Amino acid sequence: MELEIEVGNPCIDRKDFCMNCNSRFMKVRPFLKKAIVSNHFRRDVKDADTIKSIIRNVLDCSSLEFSELHKFEKSVDGNLIFRAKRVQWHIVYSVDKKRRIIFLRAIKNFTEYKRFLKSRQKILEMISFSEKN
């Protein structure tokens, strides 16, 4: 079962920290209502407090923990795929057609991360699984 979190909108007033936001992410951020954490993401991170911290920091766009935040990777059938890079982690998340942010994977190995991005079918399976729940 996947974890769902209701999302508020900190982007009502543009603040200094919004400079971390990618323009594509800024367009969809005000419309995000839910954050969903996939089972893969849970297995990758393992610690519930770290998961909550990552989600909060990504959604607030204000964390200095990330060297890259909201880096747009590609679009897969209308689902936007982004990445946030945190010290040793490549956090891969998607904004689906229903305007939910889905945290797909947290990968330590860059080669594995690139392989995951190329796996269009796997990404679609993870997104469609979360749509059913």
pLDDT digits (tens, 9 = 90+) for 9-66: 555 555 554 555 667 787 888 888 888 999 999 999 999 999 988 888 888 776 667 8
Q: What is the pLDDT of residue 1?
A: 35
Does residue 2 register a pLDDT over 50?
no
Rounded distance, CA 15 to CA 133, Å? 34
Q: Do 101 and 66 form a contact (C-beta atoms < 8 A)?
A: no
Rounded distance, CA 133 to CA 116, Å? 22
Rounded distance, CA 125 to CA 114, Å? 17
Q: How far, rounded to the nearest angstrom, does the alpha carbon of residue 129 sit from its chain's CA centroid?
A: 16
Rounded distance, CA 103 to CA 38, Å? 6
Tell me the pTM.
Answer: 0.83
- Per-residue pLDDT tens digits for 68-127: 888 899 999 999 999 999 888 999 999 998 889 999 999 999 999 999 999 999 999 998
Q: Write down all domains in the chain, each with its CATH number in brackets.
A: 3-132 (3.30.2310.20)
Q: What is the pLDDT of residue 59?
A: 83
CA nearest neighbour of 24 among 73, 89, 86? 73
